[in-house]
Structure 1
Amino acid sequence: MERPPITPQLGRTRVMAILRSADASGLPAVARALADGGIVCLEVTLTAPGALDALARIRDELGPEVAVGAGTVLTSGQARDALAAGAGFLVSPVVDAELIRRTAQSGTPCYPGAWTPTEVHTAWQAGAAAVKLFPACTGGPAHLSQLRAPLPQIPLLAVGGVEITHVRDYLDAGACAVGVGSPLLRGADRDPSGTALGALTDRARTLLEAAGSPSPASEAVR
């Protein structure tokens, strides 16, 4: 089976912003603020009512320069609905080999969550574009480094409790990229005022700088 490549925007910037909210209605404004700061790979989790509508709106408003995917995908039905809504990639907190295979066969990158060597290898064999080390903070950069030693061919995406101040540590330990949620959003989704969104754009730039990513000015959506 041909493995889909890592999402180009993720491979280029090494940063994925995770948009998890109890109310998805504010996520398009949050997505725009992140894109203005240079973060162009966005995961919209399916834990909020209206998440797929928000995903479709973000995709339409920001265009192809920004990769928008669905997160917390647990079933084939959710995967099907997310792809129909325009998700460019799928993220899951678990290893479901059949879900990974079907997603890969559709040509869509899938990033399943794994923590042990066996889970990481199983996800990779099923066709994952990269494997999400989740929750990353449980073992920290040292755990990621230990996984990379016997499995250097498998790209690992560090997600779960990753603080902006620790991003460089995970990348130096061998992560291909990081996913950052609440430490980045800090409630901007609940109060998408101009002040909150401006601060979010500033944090997005700080995160990209920590990751050593391309200049936010060159990545921002015009």
Structure 2
Amino acid sequence: MTLDDALAQCPVVAIVRGIRPDEVLDHAAALLEAGVPGIEVPLNSPDPIESVRALATEFGDRMVVGAGTVLTPERVEAVAQAGGRIIISPNTRPEVIRRTVELGLDPAPGFATPSEAFTAIEAGARHLKLFPAATYGSVHVKQIKAVLPPEAVVWAVGGVGPDSMAEWWAAGCRAFGLGGELYRAGQSVAETREKARRVVEAARALR
């Protein structure tokens, strides 16, 4: 599944920071069952490449799978070899973005300012992750959207949850990366499923 296909179904990517390979498939199944078709394994999780590989093998045709906190081109290559499709970063590093595009994957670099946004776009990114979103606020998005090209897809990530998604959507965001609102290390699969249902309900109301 492609990133655009997943976001068309539900504009949410789950950030499962801290998850282990031996539990990732059960939590991913719960997310997918609830209607979340995107999952990001941050690279500062235990054995993250193994989790990406397992997810891509089991759910790659039904979920868009990738990694977060990707900081170097070498890590991009490792994620690609594991079957990941999306490369999400907290920062704007052109060489990471360019390598992602070269490998046919979708980059979603982190940005805060117009300069960072245009640097990312020039390197080949179309998806732009405002991070941490809560620090800047939805008005920040509305102002930046005025100068971005129409094909740019702005994500709100960091301090965003189901109760605030409508505000960010109204400002122009068209995707969300949700961490603790969906998954915290050590929580049960049932809790993941219940959180995901609440998030998907909020996302459907945006349409």
TM-score, normalization by structure 2: 0.91
1:197 aligned onto 2:189? yes
Q: Which of 146, 161, 164 in structure 2 is aligned with 1:163? A: 161
- Alignment root-mean-square deviation, CA: 1.9
Identical pairs, percent: 35
Tell me how far apart the structure 1 counterparts of residues 192 and 70 of structure 2 sit (CA, whole Å): 26
**Which moves more between the two structures, 132-141 or 151-160?**
151-160
Q: SS of the residue aligned with 2:181?
A: helix
Give 1:91's aligned amino acid.
I
Q: SS of the residue aligned with 1:110?
A: strand
Shift of 1:136: 0.6
Q: Is residue 164–residue 184 contact of structure 1 (8 Å, CA) maintained in 2?
A: no
List aligned pairs for 1:95-106, cutoff 5 A: 95-106=92-103
**Which moves more between the two structures, 71-80 or 163-172?**
163-172
Q: Using CA pairs below 8 Å that are at least 6 residues apart, which structure has the higher relative contact order?
A: 1
Q: Is residue 164–residue 180 contact of structure 1 (8 Å, CA) maintained in 2?
A: no
Tell me how far apart the structure 1 counterparts of residues 85 and 173 of structure 2 sit (CA, whole Å): 21
Q: Is residue 13–residue 213 contact of structure 1 (8 Å, CA) maintained in 2?
A: no
Tell me how far apart the structure 2 counterparts of residues 23 and 65 of structure 1 sit (CA, whole Å): 21
Q: Is residue 17–residue 180 contact of structure 1 (8 Å, CA) maintained in 2?
A: yes
Q: SS of the residue aligned with 1:90?
A: strand
Measured against aligned partners, the alpha-carbon deviations of 1:44-96 in whole angstroms (never above 9, x if no partner) come to 11002311101111222224111111111001111110100010111111111
Measured against aligned partners, the alpha-carbon deviations of 1:148-182 in whole angstroms (never above 9, x if no partner) come to 12225222111111122111111111001111001
Aligned to 1:9: 6
Tell me how far apart the structure 2 counterparts of residues 62 and 210 of structure 1 sit (CA, whole Å): 24
Q: SS of the residue aligned with 1:179?
A: strand
Tell me how far apart the structure 1 counterparts of residues 95 and 51 of structure 2 sit (CA, whole Å): 27
**Which moves more between the two structures, 147-156 or 169-178?**
147-156
Using a 3 Å threshold, how does the CA distance of structure 1 residues 62 and 8 change in structure 2: closer, same or farther?
same
List aligned pairs for 1:181-220, cutoff 5 A: 181-185=179-183, 187=184, 189-191=185-187, 196-212=188-204
Shift of 1:28: 2.2
1:37 aligned onto 2:64? no
Measured against aligned partners, the alpha-carbon deviations of 1:9-30 in whole angstroms (never above 9, x if no partner) come to 0233111111101645422221
What stretches of structure 1 move > 2 A for 4+ residues in a row? Answer: 22-28
Aligned to 2:176: 178
Aligned to 1:20: 17
Tell me how far apart the structure 2 counterparts of residues 50 and 138 of structure 1 sit (CA, whole Å): 30
TM-score, normalization by structure 1: 0.85
**Which moves more between the two structures, 95-104 or 111-120?**
95-104
Aligned to 2:107: 110
Runs of 5+ in structure 1 lacking a partner?
215-222
Using a 3 Å threshold, how does the CA distance of structure 1 residues 86 and 207 change in structure 2: closer, same or farther?
same
**Which moves more between the two structures, 109-118 or 43-52?**
43-52
List aligned pairs for 1:27-176, cutoff 5 A: 27-153=24-150, 154-176=152-174
